[in-house]
Structure 1
């Protein structure tokens, strides 16, 4: 395995060098998704707005659900929505990774094309959707009277999830070239991970015997930190910092694995 590919600065430099091409691919990906729809790209805004409205009705009016040990404060559906923003960015990126390279054989067979940016395209599209989700969350927090100044830290807290998502995407995209079943396996894994992460519940609601396992879940740590930002509570920066380091390592290893497998892509396709 090429040790140059294990250099984080080299990885950032490679991506930055192709930033214009990457931006155009992300733009095309987002626009193609809504091409032909009656409201077009307005669905980028309408979809999360409708989803938040459904959450508010179901969990606020029908079930009248409350966060465990919550006596007051923000509604349950806002805390749930804040966790889903984090998880959906990860889920959309990783779920689409198996076909990100296999679905573009014409690019793979062009020697001069930087194939390693293809798994990042779903991440870019997921971040576009996440940005609109975040704006709606801020508006909803203002409406509910729970908007805090530290909400500006929410995008910063996303960094470990972004690194983990792109690292796994490089792994999965490479495997997806050789194993077509990855496009069926990965979405199931992501769906399982949603319920194994504190998206619909806080870590404090997990049985004591299982709680240590949640302390090693990078998604759970970031989701809990994001909820702390939303509620105005203190953030465990130590746990977040350790998660950032682990996710950085995962992204570097994913990139190195992708580079190592790159030479066989054209033959496999």
Structure 2
């Protein structure tokens, strides 16, 4: 396997070289999703706003839920929402990856088309949606009186999740070309992972015997870091850096696997 393929800087440079085409594909993907809807792309803003309002009503008014071991501070639904922003980027990217190449079969059969950017499109679309989620989170934190200046680091904290989602997207997109069942398997896997990650609870609430598995889960590390960020607590940058390294390796391996498999895509499609 070529060392050029396994060079992260080369991979980034290659994607950047096709940034205009990638941007057009992401734009097309987002607009097609809302085409024909009464409110159109306004749903990008309305969907997370409605979701946050439902969280606030259900967990704040009906259940009056509090975060485990929390005596004060931000309401439960805001802590939950911050974790969901992180996980939803991963979820949307990986769940749509199985058809990211299969859905563009006419492009795949063109020799000069950069097929490897197709699995990046779901990630780009997920980032568009997460940007609106983030703006709503900032507004909600300001309303709750918990907005800190370090909120600007929130996008930086997401970097390991972006790399992990991209790496798995390359893996799953390649498998999806040959195995149609991936469109059924991956959503179930993602749903299971949501409950096995500390989205609805902190790692401290997990039984001690199972806690190591959570503490080394890159998704869990980033979710916990994002919650520490919005609550003004100290972020474990050492643990976050470890997650970043692992996720960078996953993205490079995913890219290499995709490039190794792409020669057979046209025949399979």
TM-score when normalising by structure 1: 0.99
Shift of 1:190: 0.3
1:253 aligned residue: 253
Residue deviations 1:210-265 (CA, integer Å, cap 9, x gap): 00110110000000000001100000000000000000000000000000001000
Q: Does 1:209 align with 2:209?
A: yes
Deviation at 1:46, TM superposition (A): 0.3
Quote the offset at 1:26 in angstroms: 0.3
> Once superposed, what is the RMSD of the aligned Cα atoms?
0.5
In structure 1, C-alpha distance between the alignment counterparts of 2:9 and 2:264, rounded to whole Å:
25
User: Which residue of the partner structure matches residue 111 of structure 2?
Assistant: 111
Counterpart-to-counterpart distance in 2, 1:112 and 1:141: 47
Could you tell me how far 1:97 is from its partner in structure 2? 0.2
What CA distance in whole angstroms lies between the structure 1 residues aligned with 2:168 and 2:254? 6
Q: Does 1:79 align with 2:79?
A: yes
How far did 1:176 drift? 0.4
Summarize the alignment of residues 145-224 of structure 1 with structure 2, pairs less than 5 Å apart: 145-224=145-224
Contact (CA 8 Å) 1:2, 1:260: kept in 2 or not?
A: no
Unaligned ranges ≥5, structure 1: none
Kept after mapping to 2: 8 A contact 1:44/1:129: yes
After superposing on structure 2, the runs of 4+ consecutive aligned residues of structure 1 that deviate more than 6 Å are none
Aligned residues: 269
Provide, for residues 6-55 of structure 1, a one-character-per-residue CA deviation record: whole Å limited to 9, x for no partner: 00011011100000000000000000000000000000000000000000
Distance, in Å, in 2 between the alignment partners of 1:49 and 1:30 is 18
DSSP 3-state at the match of 1:6: coil
**Alignment partner of 1:98 is 2:120:** no
